[in-house]
Amino acid sequence: AAYDAGEHESFMHKEILEQPAAAERVLRGRLDDRFATGHLGGLNLDARELRAIRRVKVLGCGSAYYVGQMGAELLEDLARVPADAEAASEFRYRNPIIEPDTLYVAVSQSGETIDTLLAVQEIRRKGGYVIGLVNVVGSAIAREVDGGIYLHAGPEVAVASTKALTNMFLGFAMLALQLGRVRDLSIADGRRLIAGLEALPRKIEEILATEEQLEAVAERLAEAESLFFVGRVRGFPVAREGAQKFKEISYRHAEAYQTSELKHGPLALINPDVPTVAIVPDDELVERNVAALHEIAARGGPLVVVTHEEVSLEGLPDEGVERIVVPRSERELDPILLTVPLQLLAYHAAKRLGHDIDKPRNLAKSVTVE
């Protein structure tokens, strides 16, 4: 059957709700319980070649770049290999050093984004090895790379990407597992992650079931002309992606910031008209993150705190503070669960404002000209 929005009012909404099934598809057949590792045949790299990798450089544009940042964090965390992400649109213009022992990872839903494609070509021209995390089978980037992981998210029509991004994250998690297990990641940690990955689709479903609360919060956020999204370390790319989604379809000014950097400047902008969406997982930074919430509340800034059950917000005012609780996963996998409610916040804010959600002004689904 043709892919249409069916009973959904938009493709974006349909695609958000498809995430549990899409996540199952990307994981299927790719987790190896016996050796507690990832089973990604398409990388075209054997154990010895994987071990020889000294660095990982992730490239993508827009949301693919932000998920790439989450992925780099995962890779560094689990495989203990230095990893970072860069906007593919900038990469080739700074005459980058291409190293033979670096694994380059190009991330793209469409596989047709020209900036990402040109970055891949620049790397290969200089003799680098590039793998793709791509959704569209047979797309330009998929054809150009040395190996890769297809994302199996299914067709994505809405300009604002959701399910493809979730599957990118899961692709990175499996890559980090496989890379980690030829290095220092223990079998126990490997099993812990596999169990965490297998439980993710159900946890995404739990978040989707809270849509009514998210809708109510979004309708309030839609009234603000300008808002902040803040997070730290693993939570920062989550904030970036949350702000991106919000900007794209609500046309509100949404700025992502590291929570730790607020006091170095933007705190000057906090007032009762500027809400902050704060990513506060129950991790090693929770106390500092909560302290920052107090700084914001003290200036009258409304707060939406995306957090875990265990995190106490005691001492913050009742009024103007909304708490959105997401289920926990393994700490390395938490970023993707923290991202899902932000999709629904953006969606319902845009809906409230009466915008064309699937085709926001000035944007194309894939940007094929430089």
Is 366 a residue that touches ligand AGP (CB under 6 A)?
A: yes
Which of 154, 320 has the CB closer to ligand AGP?
154
Which of 110, 329 has the CB closer to ligand AGP?
110
Q: Which of 19, 37, 110, 289 binds ligand AGP (CB under 6 A)?
A: 110
Is 358 a residue that touches ligand AGP (CB under 6 A)?
A: no
141 φ, ψ (degrees, to nearest 5):
-70, -40
CB of 367 to ligand AGP, least distance (A): 5
Element (H, E) at 67: helix 62-79
**Contact assessment for residue 325 and residue 308, using Cβ atoms and an 8 Å cutoff:** yes
Tokens representing 128?
């680098």
Is 167 a residue that touches ligand AGP (CB under 6 A)?
A: no
The amino acid sitting at 136 is V
Q: Which of 74, 103, 159, 182 binds ligand AGP (CB under 6 A)?
A: 159
CB of 106 to ligand AGP, least distance (A): 9
Is 109 a residue that touches ligand AGP (CB under 6 A)?
A: yes
Element (H, E) at 202: helix 187-208
Stretch of 35-43, 107-115, 223-231, 335-343 lying at the interface with ligand AGP (CB under 6 A):
107-115
The amino acid sitting at 168 is M
The amino acid sitting at 321 is V
Is 139 a residue that touches ligand AGP (CB under 6 A)?
A: no
Q: Which of 131, 153, 160, 221 binds ligand AGP (CB under 6 A)?
A: 160
Which of 43, 160 has the CB closer to ligand AGP?
160
Q: How far is CA 121 from CA 29, 125, 326, in A?
A: 30, 6, 40
Residue 29's SS3 state is: coil
Is 113 a residue that touches ligand AGP (CB under 6 A)?
A: yes
**Contact assessment for residue 185 and residue 78, using Cβ atoms and an 8 Å cutoff:** yes
CB of 80 to ligand AGP, least distance (A): 28
Task: Give 205's contacts (C-beta < 8 A, 6+ positions apart).
Answer: 20
Site string for ligand AGP, 202-241 (x = CB under 6 A): ----------------------------------------
Stretch of 23-31, 106-114, 210-218, 309-317 lying at the interface with ligand AGP (CB under 6 A):
106-114
Task: Give 48's contacts (C-beta < 8 A, 6+ positions apart).
Answer: none
Is 250 a residue that touches ligand AGP (CB under 6 A)?
A: no
Task: Give 120's contacts (C-beta < 8 A, 6+ positions apart).
Answer: 59, 104, 106, 130, 132, 141, 144, 145
Which of 64, 336 has the CB closer to ligand AGP?
64
Which of 62, 201 has the CB closer to ligand AGP?
62
d(CA 300, CA 217): 17
Is 116 a residue that touches ligand AGP (CB under 6 A)?
A: yes
Residue with tokens 């990388």: 43
Q: How far is CA 227 from CA 158, 301, 318, in A?
A: 23, 10, 20
Residue closest to ligand AGP (Cβ): 62
CB of 55 to ligand AGP, least distance (A): 23
Which of 102, 167 has the CB closer to ligand AGP?
167
| Interface positions, 44-103, toward ligand AGP (CB under 6 A) | 61-64
Tokens representing 191?
């099993």
Residue 303's SS3 state is: strand
Site for ligand AGP (CB under 6 A): how many residues? 15
Is 131 a residue that touches ligand AGP (CB under 6 A)?
A: no
First to last CA, the chain: 34
CB of 78 to ligand AGP, least distance (A): 23
d(CA 309, CA 329): 12
Binding site for ligand AGP (CB under 6 A): 61-64, 108-110, 113, 116, 159-161, 248, 366-367
